[in-house]
Structure 1
Amino acid sequence: MKSLSKFFLTVGLVTTLAACGNGGSSSSSSALDDKANKGWPEELTLVQMPNENNPNAASMYTALRDHLSEELGIEVKEFEGGSYAVGIEALASGNLDIMLASPMSYYQANQKAGAELLVTPQVEGYEYYTAFITKKDNEEINNMEDLKGKNFAFVNAASSSGYLYPKGTLVQEFDLDPDLLEQSGYFFENVTFSEFHANSVMGVLMGDFDAAAVAIGQMDSMIQAGTIKEDDFKIIGRTQNIPDASYIIREDLPEDFKEAIREAFVSFEDEQYFEAVHNDPNARFVETEQTYYDPTIEMLDAINALEDEK
């Protein structure tokens, strides 16, 4: 879940979030009475984002929802969204409690709604980064410096792994002007946005691009599927590790409620869920430090990606 979403929430979801808020229906149960005495809401609203690496993951989210509901003793309403912008507005208005967020969307939510980092899925021993690739037999490109004057492909201007991180790497490594990088003739001969990681990989293979920035996970998936052969490519550079998307939460919820939610996530140990959603049955949710995204935000600032958000 490294790219910024290209999708949009449905009108139904937007309407539902706006209408439902956190008021919920009254209940006479002692459990809800206890929550009310603490100032806890009677329900929790959670939005998941589509998993571009595993579109079938959504079928497993019910297990997490049910676990949170049982641990907290309140109803948990879950929706699948697609627009971080709509989710951030819902957080700011109090109509949404928790959402899965990329570094950029967390920064926006923190600025606009004071959102806090909650938990992050952690897969031990796995590094997610963007690789700078070219064809194995391309003798003109053997290192990052050789990219100068070549035809290059990013994925999409809203993609963390396909654009923001590789652009940040280039700007910081070669002291480039971030506002000029995409201009033909400045550093690259020409820059193309392929829209999908797979398009970038195949474009390099077919000779449409001399090189491209591609998420290593996407490369691995294509190799495992037999779509491409590992020996057809060489990696000439890479970005820093890209942090996983994290769940973020409204800051104005009661502190003990936020801590209870955090503990509920951390206690979730459904191996089928983690296998389906994170491709590792041993993955788990861990508490997220509020400084987790700081290096990423510094990088985004270096490429002027935050100018419109300040």
Structure 2
Amino acid sequence: MTKKQFSRRSLLASTSAAVTYGLAGCIQGEGDSEETTTGTQMGAGASDFDPANPEFPQPMRALIQSGFETGTLEDLENMETRDEPRYGDPVQQTPSNDDDLIDPDKLAFAMTPTEDPAAYRDTMQPLMDNIAKETGKEVEYFPLQSYASMIEAMRSERLHVGGFSTGPTPFAVNLAGAVPFSIQVSDDGAFGYRLWLATQADNDEINGLDDLSGKRVAHSEPSSNSGNQAPRALFENEGVTPGEDYEVSYSGGHEQSILGVANGDYDAAPVCSTCVTRVANSGNVDPTNIKVVWASNPFPTTSFNYRYNLTPEIQDGIRKAFIDYDYSDTKIAETFEGRGKWTEIDYATAYDIILQIQEKNGVEYQTGNLEE
């Protein structure tokens, strides 16, 4: 791991036209029933996929091979800043009164909850070492089992630095005083993920959103952004209303959704692109047997946050530990698909599409609305 000064690139929010395009989702297949291609035919033409001008349906394999599961720095550069979030509260400002600041002896760090709450302890050690170096504070890993408990820990000042995944990030801002300041990127600037609508490659009845009527469609779980909240908002914007035009079945997760599609348990599923790419790369699903019939613009992935009322010196040290170091030669990059660097973000800007989705879905920022 080496220290170097990256350009502190800010994520920018869309212009009004681009925002409309982003919420609408996006990129939709244009073939009609007379011109659709079968899974076998698409497999033969996989090399023809152009990420700059995507057309659907496409084999899942072609999207993975082209890196279409993530966004790029070009996507970021085509956005404009927002001064205030369109929904919910803005990020809280650092208090001007010293009495309102906190200066803990130890800084508690946590990552997004997993089945094994301590799974990321060793992976994130290089980062925690640099937080300690830059702040002069001891850093301890704080394993937590749910987003609700993670948000409560930051709200009560027991958690000071944490990675919140996409959907819970606005909850952390509105309920816990979190300041989202960075996301991970790879050496070539890849970031985030997309929402894909996947079905069987040989399913000739589904080649776009309009074909979901009356079908068995798996959403992952209620609090998931790409697995439930995003499709409810973005699909409706395209004229397809989940729960009305098709019955929603909750699978329990993105892996369960894509495996259910592969096994024929569901006709289709909206899934997180990077999640199902990991499933394919692990050999648990054959991407040649899956096709993607619709895809969204990229979403930001896990945001990294500190609590707003940490002293300015601690805040600055935390930022430096993330932004000024290259972790490409550590377990961090190995674990997170080569994303060994961080770039700065502005919450109102980077999470604009997420806030649009949550506003459209009537999300209320209460811990009870976070699924355990």
- Same fold flag (TM > 0.5): yes
Shift of 1:303: 1.5
**1:165-184 equivalences in 2 (<5 Å):** 165-174=230-239, 176=241, 181-182=242-243
Match of 1:59 among 87, 107, 122: 122
Corresponding residue for 1:293?
Answer: 351
C-alpha contact (below 8 Å) 1:103/1:297 kept by paired residues: no
Q: In 2 relative to 1, CA 251–56 (structure 1 residues): closer, same or farther, beyond 3 Å?
A: closer
Would the aligned equivalents of 1:48 and 1:80 in 2 still touch at CA under 8 Å? yes
2:331 is aligned with 1:277? no
Decide whether aligned partners of structure 1 residues 64 and 225 sit closer, same or farther in structure 2, where only a CA change above 3 A counts: same
Partner of 1:129: 194
Counterpart for residue 168 of structure 2: 105
Cα pair 2:200 2:268 within 8 Å, conserved = yes
Shift of residue 145, structure 1, vs aligned partner: 0.7
**C-alpha RMSD of the superposition:** 2.6
Name which of structure 1's ranges 292-301 and 251-260 shifts more when overlaid on structure 2. 251-260
Mapped to 2, the partners of 1:199 and 1:277 lie a distance apart of 21
Measured against aligned partners, the alpha-carbon deviations of 1:250-288 in whole angstroms (never above 9, x if no partner) come to: 1112223212211122123232133233121x6301222
Tell me if the contact between 1:135 and 1:233 (Cα under 8 Å) persists in the aligned partners. Answer: yes
1:202 and 1:49, CA in 2 relative to 1: closer, same or farther beyond 3 A?
closer
- 2:222 matched to which residue of 1? 157
Looking at structure 2, the residues matched to 107 and 45 of structure 1 have their Cα atoms a distance apart, in angstroms, of: 20
Q: Is the 8 A contact 1:274 1:284 kept in 2?
A: no
CA drift at 1:126: 4.7
The code of the aligned residue for 1:239 comes to S
Question: What SS does the aligned partner of 1:60 have?
Answer: coil
Normalised TM-score (structure 1): 0.76
Deviations 1:145-189 (A, max 9, x none): 11122111111112222222222221222274xxxx33xxx210x
Q: SS of the counterpart of 2:222?
A: coil
Percent sequence identity over matched residues?
Answer: 25
- 1:191 matches 2:244: no
Measure the CA separation in 2 of the matches of 1:225 and 1:290.
Answer: 33
Cα contact 1:50–1:58 (8 A) shared by 2: no
**What's the secondary structure of 1:59's corresponding residue?**
coil
Unpaired segments of 5 or more residues in structure 2?
1-100
Gaps of 5+ in 1: 1-37
Between the aligned partners of 1:39 and 1:146, the Cα distance in structure 2 is: 54
Q: Which 10-residue stretch deviates more, 148-157 or 167-176?
A: 167-176
Match of 2:156 among 80, 93, 103: 93
Matches of residues 1-310 of structure 1 in structure 2 within 5 Å?
Answer: 40-50=103-113, 57-123=120-186, 124-126=189-191, 128-174=193-239, 176=241, 181-182=242-243, 186-188=244-246, 190-270=247-327, 271-280=329-338, 283-291=340-348, 292-306=350-364
Higher helix share: 1
Amino acid of the structure 1 residue aligned with 2:209: M
- 1:250 and 1:127, CA in 2 relative to 1: closer, same or farther beyond 3 A? closer
Q: Residue 26 of structure 1 corresponds to which residue in structure 2? A: none
1:200: Cα distance to partner? 1.8
Q: Which has the higher contact order (CA 8 A, sep 6+)?
A: 2
Q: Which amino acid aligns with 1:174?
A: G
Which segment is superposed worse, 95-104 or 292-301?
A: 95-104
Which residue type is aligned with residue 143 of structure 1? G
Match of 1:29 in 2: none
1:141 to partner: Cα distance: 1.0
TM-score under structure 2 length normalisation: 0.64
| Counterpart Cα distance in 2 of 1:250 and 1:112 | 11
Aligned residues: 263
Change (3 A) 1:108 1:215: closer
Alpha carbons of structure 1 residues 41 and 226: separation in structure 2 relative to 1, 3 Å: closer
Shift of 1:71: 2.0
Does the residue aligned with 1:234 lie in a helix, a strand or coil? strand
Contact 2:112 / 2:165 at 8 angstroms: preserved in 1? no
SS in structure 1 opposite 2:180? strand
Farther-moved stretch of structure 1 (220-229 vs 68-77) = 220-229
